[in-house]
Amino acid sequence: MQLSDSLSQQLAQKFGQPTDDEDASSSSGAPQTMLGKVALRVEKLCGFPAADLRREHTADDVGLGSLGRIELAVRLEQELKVRIDDRVVEDLATFGELADYLEELTGETSA
């Protein structure tokens, strides 16, 4: 399982998620990307693995219905302390576009 563990760590780092060796609440961990934050919220809402979420995935790809999309936007607003325009979110085709939009709102940039 050494290869599997290594792959899991690489995926966690790619999406800014803590690895098994890092505590999620640790301030010394690598900064989380916006796509990583979105991926974690998607996983909590519909069970789609955060490590498998790609920029090109759509809400339909991961089984997130219209109510789930609304809840995702609300949760991201709470987490990021921003106001997300519902009409803009409806027009965004992919999670990558959503992450880019959220980066614009928050002033954060991807690593």
> What pTM, to 2 d.p., does this model score?
0.69
Which sequence spans correspond to the domains of the chain? 32-111
Q: To the nearest 10°, the Cα dihedral for 68, 72, 74, 75?
A: 130
Q: Distance between CA 1 and CA 56 in Å, rounded?
A: 29
Residue type, 35: L
CATH fold, domain 32-111, is 1.10.1200
Digitized pLDDT (tens) for each residue of the chain, 111 residues in all: 445 556 656 666 666 555 444 434 333 344 589 999 999 999 999 999 999 999 999 999 999 988 999 999 999 999 999 999 888 888 889 999 999 999 999 987 765
